[in-house]
Amino acid sequence: MTLRQRTLVEVPINWPLIGCIAFGVIDRGTNLIQVRPSSSCTLSCIFCSTDAGPSSRNRQAEYLVDLDHLIEWVKAVIKFKRSKSLEAHIDTVGDPLLYPKIVDLVHRLSELPRVKIISMQTHGYLLSYKLISDLEAAGLSRINLSIDSLNPRLAKKLAGTQHYDLSHVLNMAEAISNSKIDLLIAPVWVPGLNDQEIPRIVEYALKIKAGKYWPPLGIQKFVSHKYGRKPKGVKPITWFKFYKELRKLEDKFKVKLVLKPEDFGIVKDLKVPLSFKKGEKVRVQVVGLGWLRGEKLAVDLHQERIITLINASNIELGSIVHARILACKDNIYVAEPV
Ligand code: SF4
What string of DSSP letters covers 231-290? -TT--PPPHHHHHHHHHHHHHHHT---S--GGGGT--B---PPPSS-TT-EEEEEEEEE-
Co-location of 48 and 177 in the same domain: yes
Number of structural domains in the chain: 2
Ligand 1 pocket residue status of 186, Cβ below 6 Å? no
Q: Which of 6, 49, 123, 148 to mutate to test the pocket of ligand 1 (most atoms within 8 A of CB)?
A: 123
Q: What pLDDT digit, counting tens, does each position of 84-135 carry?
A: 999 999 999 999 999 999 999 999 999 999 999 999 999 999 999 999 999 9
Distance 225 CA to ligand 1 centre (A): 14
**Domain span at 191:** 7-264
Co-location of 206 and 302 in the same domain: no
Ligand 1 pocket residue status of 52, Cβ below 6 Å? yes
Within a domain: 307: yes
Co-location of 332 and 195 in the same domain: no
Ligand 1 pocket residue status of 55, Cβ below 6 Å? no
Within a domain: 1: no
Co-location of 122 and 26 in the same domain: yes
Q: Name beta bridge partners: 62.
A: 8
Ligand 1 pocket residue status of 44, Cβ below 6 Å? yes
CA distances from 62 to 22, 25, 216, 293, 316 (A): 8, 16, 32, 12, 19
Query: Does 2 have pLDDT greater than 80?
Result: no
Co-location of 117 and 35 in the same domain: yes
Co-location of 211 and 124 in the same domain: yes
Phi, psi for residue 155 in degrees, rounded to 5: -60, -40
Phi, psi for residue 65 in degrees, rounded to 5: -105, 140
**DSSP H helices in 40-195:** 67-78, 102-110, 129-138, 152-159, 166-177
Query: Does 3 have pLDDT greater than 60?
Result: no
Distance 91 CA to ligand 1 centre (A): 11
Distance 315 CA to ligand 1 centre (A): 31
pTM for this predicted structure:
0.96
Within a domain: 219: yes
How confident is residue 1, by pLDDT bands cut at 50, 70 and 90? very low
Give the mean model confidence (pLDDT) for residues 68-91: 98
Q: What is the CATH number of the domain that holds 327?
A: 2.40.50.140
